[in-house]
Amino acid sequence: MDNASTISVSSPVVDFKEVTFQFLEDNSPVFTNISFSIHAGERVVLYGPSGCGKSTLLYLMNRLYPANCDGELSGSVALFHKDASSYAAGEINRRIATVFQDPETQFCMPTVEQEMAFTLENLHINREEMEQRITTTLDLTGLSAFRHSVIQTLSGGMKQRLATACALLIEPQVLLLDEPLAHLDPLTAHQYVEWLNALQLSSDFTVVVVEHRLDLWGSFFNRALHVKNSGVFSIEANPTRSPIQFPSRTSTVQDVVALEAQNISVNIDGNRLLSNISLSLRKGEIAVLAGPNGSGKSTLLKTICGILKKTDGQFKSGRTIPGYVPQSPEHLFVTNDVGQEISFSNHANADEISDIMHSLRLLEIQDAHPFAISHGQKRRVAIGAMIADQRPVLLLDEPTSGQDSEVLIELFHLIDSMAKEGFTVLIVTHDMAFAAAIADTVFLLNNGELTGRYENEQLWQQTELLKTHHLLPPIGAASYV
């Protein structure tokens, strides 16, 4: 993939000069005296540890901050050669479109078509042009078949694509994307990058992306802003990153069944979401559930833990309901600070809680409100709280999303240590490098049907099988098995 062939040397479309920003409830600024510019047609990635301020930077670029938060800004932020504070409310959003980390926060209407029409109605687009824009954008984003779908029935990956489609409807000059690949299966993520590459080359809009997994983007980006927890920035040209190298592990599977599903089917509103699913998990087993967006992975986890009602079949999991960490982790939060959240169940002792918080890098935010931290940090808090609850079976839905490399390695060690203690873990993930490193077993799901159970070492060389499930073998997969 080639980058945009030329980079504009005109005045910047985004220009930060000596910018300091601090939330009023924090003791120190998110960043201090930072300066950088982004020019028309550039492709820039912001990367760095979870919670270092990458999303905050995006929100300063689209005027969401400081206008809609309790924060103080000093220095100069200019957008299209004009001071950001001089724009009227909503004015800049006709030129700078944003896709947020959690796409559900952007939707206002029940169906895909209605949501897209609502976006264009706010721009006062006439009905004839509205129809043309919606049809074209649906084709470009591969969502034509979902035109009349109810948004809440879509998978997380489909919601991410819809949010991007709605952003493109306004034909922006700058597109801000906050971890757009986080909920996409590997093949769809690859196709998304190729599609965005072609679209940017033809339309020449500026792209600014927050991302942890630079290896998924190949040579897409012209420049990177490396954001560090200290607020220090470095600027890199043509950034690329190698995949994370996880350590090896030894299987801890015991010959004791911890969870068994027999012929599980789920029908909702006349639609069959799962069909005759049968699987078993053993004590100490780490299993991965993988497959395309919309294949039923999250539905299966929700059915196992009782959030969704099964239509047919039965579960055998002893007397304890499995612990569950959903894709939207804030749904679990019940306290006012991170430390209380981890210890809420009272099942873990003080030393165990301290170890969990250390492993998940939560000690530095233990006094923060769970809703006031980054999405990646929220996910770690939810995982930590469920681990502290000490359920013998743990279900994790996309635990790797939004996590930097150091956290992923710590998460690997934490799950591995749990398995050694006899816990059973079932993980939904699109991160095949993490899956190849951590899993004893991989279950493949497609169109609501379980299509196979594979030992880790059996799977990664089966290219056609992976492709039919929208998966790609991780680079260096052979080193994990």
User: Which residues, including other chains, have CB under 8 Å from residue 423's CB and lie 6 or more apart?
Assistant: 284, 392, 393, 394
323-358 residues labelled b (16+ CB within 10 A) or e (exposed):
bbbbbbbeebbeeeebbebbbebeebeeeebebbbe
The structure's pTM equals 0.81
- Give the 3-state secondary structure of residue 98: strand
Question: Taking 70 as the threshold, does the pLDDT of residue 53 lie above it?
Answer: yes
Distance CA 173, CA 93 (A): 10
pLDDT digit string, tens, across residues 27-42? 888 888 999 999 999 9
Distance CA 416, CA 159 (A): 32
Which pLDDT does position 2 carry in this prediction? 54
Which pLDDT does position 232 carry in this prediction? 66
Q: Which of 420, 418, 419, 412 is nearest to 436 (CA)?
A: 412
Q: Give the H/E segment covering residue 383.
A: helix 375-388
Distance CA 79, CA 101 (A): 22
Q: Where are the beta strands (DSSP E) in 269-320?
A: 271-282, 286-290, 312-316
> What is the average pLDDT value for the chain, to the nearest integer?
88
Confidence tier at 10 by pLDDT (50, 70, 90):
low
pLDDT digit string, tens, across residues 413-425? 989 999 999 999 9
pLDDT digit string, tens, across residues 408-457? 998 999 899 999 999 999 999 999 999 999 999 999 999 999 999 998 88
- Mean pLDDT for the stretch of residues 99-124: 89
Q: What secondary structure does DSSP assign to 135-184, as a single string? A: HHHHHHHT-GGGTT-BGGGS-HHHHHHHHHHHHHHT--SEEEEESTTTTS
| Token reading at 375 | 């999405």
pLDDT digit string, tens, across residues 114-152? 999 999 998 888 988 999 999 988 987 778 999 999 998
| Token reading at 40 | 């028309």
Which pLDDT does position 396 carry in this prediction? 94
Which pLDDT does position 257 carry in this prediction? 92
pLDDT-above-70 percentage for the chain = 95
Q: Which of 140, 13, 30 is nearest to 77 (CA)?
A: 13
Q: Which of 192, 189, 125 is nearest to 165 (CA)?
A: 192
Tokens 């996910």 found at? 379
Question: Taking 80 as the threshold, does the pLDDT of residue 230 lie above it?
Answer: no
Question: Taking 80 as the threshold, does the pLDDT of residue 397 lie above it?
Answer: yes
Q: Which amino acid is present at 197?
A: N
Confidence tier at 480 by pLDDT (50, 70, 90):
very low
Question: Taking 70 as the threshold, does the pLDDT of residue 319 lie above it?
Answer: no
Which pLDDT does position 5 carry in this prediction? 39
**Any idea which of 80-94, 190-204, 222-236 has the lowest mean pLDDT?**
222-236
pLDDT digit string, tens, across residues 275-308? 999 999 999 999 999 999 889 999 999 999 999 9
Q: Is the dihedral of CA 367, 372, 373, 376 positive or negative?
A: positive
Residue 398 contacts residue 382 (beta carbons within 8 Å): no
Residue 384 contacts residue 362 (beta carbons within 8 Å): yes
Question: Taking 90 as the threshold, does the pLDDT of residue 173 lie above it?
Answer: yes
pLDDT digit string, tens, across residues 14-23? 999 999 999 9
